[in-house]
Structure 1
Amino acid sequence: MDIFNEIKKKLSQEFIDIVEWLDSSNDTIVHRFERYQNEIKNNAKLIVREGQTAVFVNEGQLADVFSPGTYTLNTKNLPILTTLKGWKYGFDSPFKAEVYFVNTRLFTDEKWGTKNPIMLSDDRFGLVEIRAYGTYSFKISDPGKFVVDVVGTDGNFTSYEVNEHLKSLIVTRFTDTVGEANLPIELYAANTTELSQTCQEVMQPEFDRVGIELEKFYIENVSMPEDLKKEIFEYSRLDKLDMAKLSQFKAAKAMEAAAKNEGGTAGAGMGMGMGFVLAQQMGQMMNPQSNQNLASQSQPSVVPPPMPSQILYYYAVNGLQNGPVGVERLRELFASRTINRDTLVWKQGMGDWSALKDVAELKSFLGGNTPPPLPTA
């Protein structure tokens, strides 16, 4: 194994070294250039194509960043790396450095979405839940910062990996933004363009911290539970409708449905009755003035006095209080000899118990209605 490594090392020193990266994928953001023990020959050729940036890292420190072009790697083109190495007399032998090619093209149609519903407070519906999803596009604006802060030592960093980081950031800032917007719940779905622009402005400083530029941010849809959606639709309809007319319309529909469910003569009668009622209601809706006139004519001009309250009496039999009973019941008791003229009676307003014969309104019981005593044997 050591022999093959030595042969590989000798061959790398014999030929002109070319440092380049041809991207054959659609999702690679950062690719680390591989060389035996990371050795690059003095005066090697560095080729950086359009849409790329080459980042040199030496012993964990950022050394140099190269934009698109072709370079000869020596002390003139690597001043920072030369300072880090402390070389005063140029490169007389291969040097070690990690080279990361960063894809700076625009990455489009990246997906984002809320894994869990977002809880919001609405003045009319209380606590509600919404979900949202959309797309965004980004590109690397500061390759050096991105490699140091995000990539680290990853040899092949893809858009999938960076998306996992960005999605969490997007959802967090999106939640903060919609919470502070304080819009009525039904307006979130109707103002996705304005919300998208606001969210992009809020998120951009967070992206800048890791060397990424958020080019576009789109909210494609804001959804809510079906029961809440139906409630919002119903509320919006009620807000626009005349409640009196709506009640009349629903009553007519209910009678129509009842008539259809009945069979035979009963169904026909119900249908005719429903037609008369419906016609009357429609007439009232079309001519409210005549409806008011009919209502005024139907009202009586004289209001009858209230019904007199019945006078109730208590009576004593065998030393026990009974009642209360009305005058007619008291008359029946007198006629059946359950009570007599000397029976004590009392009603509300009397100071004390009195004999029946001494109460003015009960003296009518005595007029010829008292039978004579039974004959003795």
Structure 2
Amino acid sequence: MPFSVYFLALAVFGMGTSEFMLAGLVPGIAAALDVSLAQAGYLTSAFAVGMVAGAPLMAALARSWRRRTALLCFLAVFVATHVVGGLTTSFGVLLGTRLLAAVANAGFLAVALTAATELVPPDRKGRALAVLLGGTTVACVVGIPGGALLGWRAAFWVVAVVCLPAFAGVWRIADTAPGAAPSDLRAELAELRPLAGVLVLGALINAATFGVFTYLAPVAAGVAPVPVVLLAFGTGCFAGVTAAGRLADRWPGRVVTIGGALLLVGWVVLALVADVPAALIGLAFTQGGLSFLVGGTVITRILHRATGAPTMAGSYATAALNVGATAGPVLAGALLGAGRTAPIWTAAALVTLALTLHAFRRRT
């Protein structure tokens, strides 16, 4: 695997940590900047909006740029927003930096998804994406506890520092994978239209994953140590995306069909045995693994099949995943009043819908 892919993964890790760490930083930010908890929560919403809107917009903007130029610009903006965020005493400024950081994050990830696959032979695209997305899964594990441990200003500075070595890796991409002359944007969007079903499939799987992950702490409270359950889920995510790198290039259809069915069964079983500590911890691991196995495979299928849309495929995959990551927690939270296992049942319903869509697409 080219070394530059690992540097891209390091940047994705830093960016993912920035996103996830907010869950543990909201109270400290609210107290430090004299705003309410609800207002501080807008920081999470701003990041989510920036990720969803930023991916296609930034990818379209950067279509005429070389890969290195686009990645370096997005990375520089992301680091700068964290320096400003770590220094500011204004909530308005901090809110603006979170929105801008998310747009830069979305643009970087959209271009990085394409750049990583250009650095390897076609039959190793899945492995390259597994390494890249591995940065996100590790961020799931360390983002929340790491941010809470450091405090919000220190956390912003640490994220900026973590991203600095990635500049060296991105620079090395210049000679091996420069951006080609941009194709017609309308032609690229037309190429993506037949993939709308796959994009929706990815959004549904991710909605289920992050709907449960967001509320895993209240699900585990009083049953098993919350940090252990979160660690089990995050470790499973890393194992799943690694397995996707091995399997997605060879048997994508089987992974989605069989892995999706197992994922559905696992959510139902977890909802039924959530009061059993050992079962909760064990299924947190397996469900994290299956979620990223199936989700990672779906992303690989998008990039494999969108060869005629080299600049926009990664952006729409990024946007779809973040639509899921935003919508899933909102839906699960709205149903939380029905009981603490409601997020798990919500995930089961979303995966059921995803499998129904997958079966329909295979028949047509």
Please give the range of the TM-score, normalised by the shorter of the 2 chains: under 0.3
State the TM-score, normalized to the length of structure 1. 0.18
TM superposition score normalised by structure 2: 0.19
Larger relative contact order, structure 1 or 2 (CA cutoff 8 Å, min sep 6): 2
Considering only CA atoms, is the larger Rg found in Structure 1 or Structure 2? 1
